Structure 1
Amino acid sequence: MNLSHPVRRLLFVTVLALDEGGARDAFLADAQKYRRELLAHCYRMTGSLHDAEDLVQETYLRAWKSYDNFEGKSSVRTWLYRIATNTCLTALDGRKRRPLPSGLGGPAADPYADLTERHEIAWLEPIPDAPHEDPADPSVIAESRESVRLAFIAALQHLPPRQRAVLVLREVLQWKAAEVGEAIGVSTAAVNSLLQRARAQIDEVSPSRDDQPVAPESPEAADTLAQYMAAFESYDMDRLVELFTADAVWEMPPFDSWYSGPADIIALSKNHCPAEKPGDMRFLTTTANRQPVAAMYMRNPQTDAHEAFQLHVLDMTTAGVAHVVAFMDVSLFAKFGLPEAL
């Protein structure tokens, strides 16, 4: 083609741009299959479902803008993880960690004392499990190697962001140290040092239990969850006591206190729960962080409707319910596909 004519040259450049833009869009359309696992990755890094969703969007935007720089030396999946990790590190710069009440450093609280809400704290959030997961899906494989259980996510938040990134990339995604170093711009020796410090910190803050966790899809979990919801719905607090382990923990952000032991948990419920009689509470079930969830709806005496109240994320072991985080952020119900009222 003779490109000496200005109009022909302009048309040629335009066609090239359209072809390039189409290739870029096709590339990113194919990359959408990694969205769920990138969401889990950004969630591990931030402890926030809301932030993770925004950061995944930012990751795809950055990938779209830098498509021309992708040389194919690594897989598309690895390239996206590298972008997502650095996007998270940038976002976390200067931010405080997202805790649970038990991670604030204070002792277990008196269940008869007043409750204090702390809305200025950015609390840890749960993440809904993906429906109809394929066991062969890379995101499922990654999550099975290192759980997304709340206890692990809460422990991760104690780490500085770069240590957090190294631990997740090395031990969850099973990247080699050199790959991690290249991704975050440090030497292999620095990666190994960061990993060693991260492991020590995780061991220090992670809860130690003799009992094994129960899979949320198991018959044991389904039975315990059914008994748990039935005890609340019938307002049978004595029955509820029997379901908790001796050292069970209860917390409910944005309240900054946490409670230990069945007696104190029941005392808290009797003294501070707005329910007064059987039928005031109803539940729907789902799962989050690979744990059973009981979504509580509280009866509104003015309308007689049961309205979204708390999301109970349960940590079940072979000995019973070991930990409940009752999230009171009702905006989470929509994220879990749950109705605002029954």
Structure 2
Amino acid sequence: MTTVLERARGGDDRAFGELTAPYARELHLHCYRMLGSVTDADDVLQEILLAAWTGLSGFAERSSLRTWLYRIATNRCLNAIRDGKRRPPTEPLPPFDPPEPTQRGDITWLQPYPDTWLEDHAVRRETVELAFVTALQRLPPRQTATLVLVDVLGFTMAEVAQMMDTTQTAIKGALQRARASVGSPRDADLARSAGNTQLPALGERPDTAGEWAVARRFAEAFVADDIEAVTDLLTDDAWLAMPPAPHEYQGPAAIAAFLHASAAGRRGARVRLDPSPCNHQPGFRCYFLTDDHPPRYAGRFVLTISEDRITRITRFLDPALE
């Protein structure tokens, strides 16, 4: 009796789908961690599957199929970064004059990863939170790949060296440099990311109910345009970021100034927030409501919460993310 692998090698596309389907979602998540963008991960995943389909005859079974697919995935992601396929998106123009930002962010391609895509896999929260994904984007690409493959996915340094066509010594050096830069999901404490976002301590079980209580208070205040109540929920060093817009605001006063300008720019439209968690963090889809038009999608919020305060509000403005 022929095996699924043999049938796939013989050109049976259904057998190929059966062979690769168990790994598709985790490969997509791997691409997302590497690239920081769901859109780019979608594109690269299709390249991975095409490369696997055309190269299946060369799979010598010296490693598992999963390891072979991760080799393809990692190198496709590295190629995408090297070839400039991950280009920063066009900066959106707000329909109002925003106040001067605290700084201009450099990871404008960052996108959220819906929790509904994480439900079928045991994904550790600290390996998918926005702070960690953002930190990965600031590493040299091969350091990103090494950190993710070893510390997140659990491949050995020997396996990673083979995947990336290099030596174990090179992998060890890249891993040490990556850990020194952003910490490691295996450390007791993850280092600060980019100087403005505190990554959570590994092993600390998040108080999900407590986080959503804070998130609901945020939603109620935001919908009511009660900006004072929103800022009361913020830490003193909280940040507001809005990819793909580069504008970032730090501190309650700066964030409040932006929210006042934004509320005025809605010209009386009401707001609705629908719960939609992403990256194992509380989140909402935002819609603008008027009496004479259907609800208009206005981005996604993802909240980073520490104890009973919000440390970061990330509002993703890309309309494709609805």
* TM-score under structure 2 length normalisation: 0.82
| Structure 1 residues 275-323: Cα deviation after superposition (integer angstroms, max 9, x where no partner) | 466x71111111111111111112347x343311121111111131110
> How far does residue 201 in structure 1 lie from its aligned partner after superposition?
2.2
2:149 to 169, 185, 188: 169
Kindly report which structure 2 residues correspond to 1:212-231, keeping only aligned pairs within 5 A, or say none: 218-231=208-221
Aligned to 1:103: none
| Equivalent in 285, 289, 297 of residue 295 of structure 1 | 285
SS at match of 1:257: strand
1:36 equivalent among 16, 20, 25: 25
RMSD across aligned C-alpha pairs, in angstroms? 3.3
- In the alignment, is the contact (CA less than 8 A) between 2:28 and 2:42 conserved in 1? yes
Any idea what the Cα deviations from partners look like across 1:37-95, whole Å, max 9, x if unmatched? 10100011111111101111111111111111112222211111111111111111143
2:277 is paired with a residue whose SS is: strand
8 Å CA contact retained: 2:132, 2:193: no
Cα distance in 2, alignment partners of residues 199 and 121 from structure 1: 20
Provide structure 1 residue ranges, at least 5 long, that are not aligned to the other structure. Answer: 1-15, 101-109, 334-342
Letter matched to residue 40 of structure 1: L
The partner residue of 2:59 within 70, 75, 97 is 70
Aligned counterpart, 2:303: 314
Q: Which 10-residue stretch deviates more, 304-313 or 83-92?
A: 304-313
Equivalent residue in structure 2 for 1:129, among 87, 112, 115: 115
Please give the alpha-carbon distance, in whole angstroms, between the structure 2 residues aligned to 1:160 and 1:268.
33
Pair 1:112-2:92 in alignment: no
- Find the counterpart in structure 2 of residue 261 from structure 1: 251
Aligned pair in 2 of structure 1 residues 83, 300: CA closer, same or farther (>3 Å)? same
Q: Secondary structure at the match of 1:305?
A: strand
- Which amino acid counterpart does residue 258 of structure 2 have in structure 1? L
2:274 to 277, 284, 294: 284
Q: Is residue 60 from structure 1 mapped to residue 49 from structure 2 by the alignment?
A: yes
Change (3 A) 1:72 1:145: farther
Matches within 5 A, 1:83-98: 83-95=72-84
Distance (whole Å) between structure 2 residues aligned to residue 209 and residue 177 of structure 1:
28
1:211 CA displacement:
7.3
Task: Check if 1:201 corresponds to 2:201.
Answer: no
- AA at the equivalent of 1:112: P
Say whether the 8 Å CA contact 2:131–2:197 is kept in structure 1: no
Take 1:261 and 1:17, find their aligned partners in 2: how far apart are those partners?
59
Cα distance change of structure 1 residues 208 and 331 upon mapping to structure 2, 3 Å threshold: closer
- Per the alignment, residue 186 of structure 2 pairs with none
- For residues 13-32 of structure 1, the aligned pairs below 5 Å read 20-22=10-12, 25-32=14-21
Closer/same/farther in 2, CA of residues 208 and 128 from structure 1, 3 Å limit: closer
Residue 47 of structure 1 contacts residue 153 of structure 1 at CA under 8 Å; is this kept in 2? yes
Letter in 2 for 1:34: Y
Which residues of structure 2 form unaligned runs of 5+? 1-5, 90-96, 183-190
Q: TM-score if structure 1 supplies the norm length?
A: 0.77
Question: What SS is found at the alignment partner of 1:164?
Answer: helix
Contact 2:28 2:45 in 1 (8 A): yes
Percent identity over the alignment is 36
Task: Give the number of the structure whose alpha-carbon radius of gyration is greater.
Answer: 1
Q: Of residues 194, 211, 232 in structure 2, which corresponds to 1:242? A: 232
